[in-house]
Amino acid sequence: MYDVKEWRHAFKLDPNKEISSEALEKICESGTDAIIVGGSDGVTLDNVLDLLAKIRRYTVPCALEVSNIESITPGFDLYFIPSVLNSRDIRWISGLHHQAVKEYGLLIDWDEIVVEGYCILNKDCKAAGLTKANTELDEEDIISYALMAEKMFRMPVFYLEYSGTYGDPNMVRSVKEVLEHTTLFYGGGIHTADQAKEMGEHADVIIVGNAVYENLKEALKTVRAVKNR
């Protein structure tokens, strides 16, 4: 299932973190809609290839969320390309993208590319620091980014990113209310089935990352919490 419009849940695995074969089997066989491979630091071609090979033992769809040009490799079902709409540094909005398209040009199969309009809201997360994101945003600011993603740039995905912290469900609801076509991803601080259910009431797709490494048993319960409704 390679259409994000059909998804409700994805696990995000960090190539820069160790994961046991037993844990990976449980994650890949959990019933999640997809595995997203990505992280904000220490992502290399070697660790991406290593994780991809292990995930490929299973049938679950697997996407690379590109965080640097050096670690792009063939073999994924989809390529998620973040563009951080609230970054203060042009490189993370369109600069690196320009460089990558220049480098890969004709090799790109555009049917595999899914652009994500990111809005990073946890000022303390690594991605916020890296991209110099302006996280001092009120509801109107965030809704405006969502509208830009959908109406101006026709981005297939708008990603409310609270990486490392549980966000505001009311904000997720407000954003969902203005989106008609663009799929709303929510990620950040989901560790339990209840949290997954709460955010899954509003977001189209919830993304569970760090919980996998901190309490896998609870993390696995987030799948049923959103895919059972």
Ligand X SMILES: O=P(O)(O)OC[C@@H](O)CO
Ligand Y SMILES: CC(C)=CCC/C(C)=C/CC/C(C)=C/CC/C(C)=C/CC/C(C)=C/CC/C(C)=C/CC/C(C)=C/COP(=O)(O)OP(=O)(O)O
Joined together, the tokens standing for residue 129 give 């620091």
Cβ pair 42, 67 in contact under 8 A: no
146 lies in the binding site for ligand Y (CB under 6 A): no
Toward Mg ion, which CB reaches closer, 122 or 210?
210
67 lies in the binding site for ligand Y (CB under 6 A): yes
Joined together, the tokens standing for residue 132 give 């110099």
Cβ pair 116, 82 in contact under 8 A: yes
Count residues near ligand X (CB under 6 A).
13
Alpha carbon distance 69, 38 (integer Å): 13
Cβ pair 96, 69 in contact under 8 A: yes
Residue 69 near which of ligand X, ligand Y, Mg ion, none (CB within 5-8 Å, type-dependent)? ligand Y
Alpha carbon distance 193, 49 (integer Å): 31
Contact with ligand Y (CB under 6 A): which of 28, 63, 86, 92?
A: 92
222 lies in the binding site for Mg ion (CB under 5 A): no
Which range of residues in 41-49, 156-164, 173-181, 197-205 is near ligand X by CB under 6 A?
A: 156-164
Residue 66 near which of Mg ion, ligand X, ligand Y, none (CB within 5-8 Å, type-dependent)? ligand Y
169 lies in the binding site for ligand X (CB under 6 A): no
Residue 190 near which of ligand Y, Mg ion, ligand X, none (CB within 5-8 Å, type-dependent)? ligand X
Longest CA–CA separation in the chain, Å: 45
14 labelled as ligand-binding? yes
144 labelled as ligand-binding? no
159 labelled as ligand-binding? yes
| Closest CB 13 distance from Mg ion, rounded Å | 9
Rule CB under 6 A: which residues touch ligand Y?
14, 38-41, 65-69, 72-74, 79, 81-82, 84, 92, 96-97, 100-101, 104, 107-108, 118, 125-127, 130-131, 161, 163-164, 209-210
Residues belonging to the binding site for sn-glycerol 1-phosphate are 12, 159-164, 189, 209-210
